[in-house]
Amino acid sequence: MGLVIAVNKGRIFEECMPLLAACEIQPSDDPKSSRKLIFESVTGNHKIIVARSADVPTYVENGVADVGITGKDTILEYGADMTFYERLDLKIGACRMMTAGPVGVPEPAQGVRVASKFVNIARQYYQKQSKQVSFIKLSGALEIAPLLGLADCIVDIVDTGNTLKANGLEARETICEISTRLIVNRASMKTKFDLVQDLIEQLENAVAQHVPAVSQ
């Protein structure tokens, strides 16, 4: 039995496919035209699960997947008590976790209302600022929270910053740099050591030799 690989759907999935292909791991069906969420590899040696970002660490931690490919933001938001290994930076999906707020409007000294889908990351950041902060968890469209008076600022992933500008916001402080990482189930690291280590080494070579085009 080969490896079960859980991959973050969307941009990360698209950008990591060339890296996996370089490791001779390709889905047997075309993911773009198939509604499947679980794919056998062409060689039949591995299985690929296409999952939501927040689910990838859960699959890996619980042993449903041997390895996972997801963003550093997802790993950080998952929490410090994670019971899996973070083994490799795939250097794709690069962006930043930042604070942002209305242009020209300073953040309140106290009683800051922060909207984010990354509440754990935001909380850890603001705890270091010694500010009184309340957090509002949203699932999407964070940019409109300050416009509607729901929040004073937001914590979100920033790539080009164009969406912020279009909604009258400006990027402020960088909390951390984000990129796509390979995580490994602890038990699989022991029971499938050779397979896991081989994948890590192949991916390291693929990352060094090939820089995938960054999505716009």
Q: What is the mean pLDDT of residues 132-151?
A: 95
The mean predicted confidence, pLDDT, of the chain is 93
Domain extent, residue 160, equals 96-176
Give the separation between CA 23 and CA 152, rounded to whole angstroms.
Answer: 46
pTM over 0.95: no
pLDDT of residue 214: 41
Q: What percent of the chain has pLDDT over 70?
A: 96
Label residue 32 by pLDDT band (50, 70, 90): confident
- Same domain for 165 and 188, yes or no, is no
Q: Is residue 215 part of a domain?
A: no
pLDDT in tens, 105-138: 998 988 999 999 999 999 999 999 888 999 999 9
Number of domains in the chain: 2
The one-character DSSP state at 27 is B
Q: Is 35 helix (H, G, I), strand (E, B) or coil?
A: coil
pLDDT of residue 211: 52
pLDDT of residue 80: 65
pLDDT in tens, 42-92: 999 999 999 999 999 999 999 999 999 999 999 999 876 778 999 999 999
User: DSSP readout, 80-104?
Assistant: TT--EEEEEE---S-EEEEEEEETT
- Same domain for 76 and 8, yes or no, is yes
Q: Specify the pairing of strand 84-89 against strand 180-185.
A: antiparallel
- Same domain for 186 and 156, yes or no, is no
